[in-house]
Structure 1
């Protein structure tokens, strides 16, 4: 079952989680996805194309530190025990992300899909009329 966590619910801090800077760039650029993978810079999917965000190459420690900073204790336990975690995350009470954190070959990765606040019409989605 997916859990939802909002900004400000992190019991460890009075500061903003580090992942929020990447979320803000995703929001500003209207990216649909954020990807964090060890050995690569953070990537955003903008209009279907993956683009590097910075020259910073992600390390296992950096990704885990940023991810664990936003997780609840039960979410951390699930990730450690199962090696994967799906949950919803909200920033600024309006922008939501569908998150998938997973371990592959001992390395942690993150894929975050931005959830549109507005529901698009069939025309805006360019769907054929017979699907309506």
Structure 2
């Protein structure tokens, strides 16, 4: 089993996340619920190899020095993923968050009119907060996309 197979399974099952953790079978998060994939538990060496193989040299150095690193990874034709690789008491672990390939509009999201009113202001600070998986990045992407399609100007984003 390789990382591409696990991620393809994750995408096929509409999972928001794939969790890899030494000592446990791979797990996916679907609609907020974490579900085990029906494969044997992964050993530390297996998880380490799966994540190490897709890291750049700099990411490997960061992982070795700080015991974690964040990066993005793409499988062309499948999806992009935001990855947090880490070391825990059982050994290597990683979480792969699926990044949507297309940006949804505010209308697609069913966002209330106030969202457009906020981003149409000539200046200001907008904070989008919430728990993991609540749609913060998706909402921000829709807001930035709306601004880019309708206005000219300078924008600074911090996530």
TM-score by length of 1: 0.78
The one of 53, 77, 86 equivalent to 1:69 is: 53
How far the C-alpha of 1:101 sits from its partner, in A, is 0.1
How far the C-alpha of 1:60 sits from its partner, in A, is 0.9
* Distance in 2 (alpha carbons) for counterparts of 1:94 and 1:44: 16
Q: How many residues align?
A: 116
Q: Which residue of 1 aligns with 2:95?
A: 111
Q: Which residue of 2 aligns with 1:3?
A: none
Q: Is contact 2:70-2:85 (8 Å) kept?
A: yes
Confirm or deny that 1:60 pairs with 2:44: yes
Q: Secondary structure at the match of 1:20?
A: helix
Unaligned runs of 5+ in 1: 1-16
Q: What is the 5 A alignment of 1:1-132?
A: 18-93=2-77, 95-105=79-89, 107-132=91-116
Q: Secondary structure at the match of 2:106?
A: coil
* Distance in 2 (alpha carbons) for counterparts of 1:43 and 1:123: 32
Larger proportion of strand: 1
Higher relative contact order (CA 8 A, sep 6+): 1
* Distance in 2 (alpha carbons) for counterparts of 1:48 and 1:105: 25
For residues 34-62 of structure 1, give each alpha carbon's deviation from its aligned partner in whole angstroms, at most 9, with x where no partner exists: 00112221111112211111231121111
Unaligned runs of 5+ in 2: 117-159
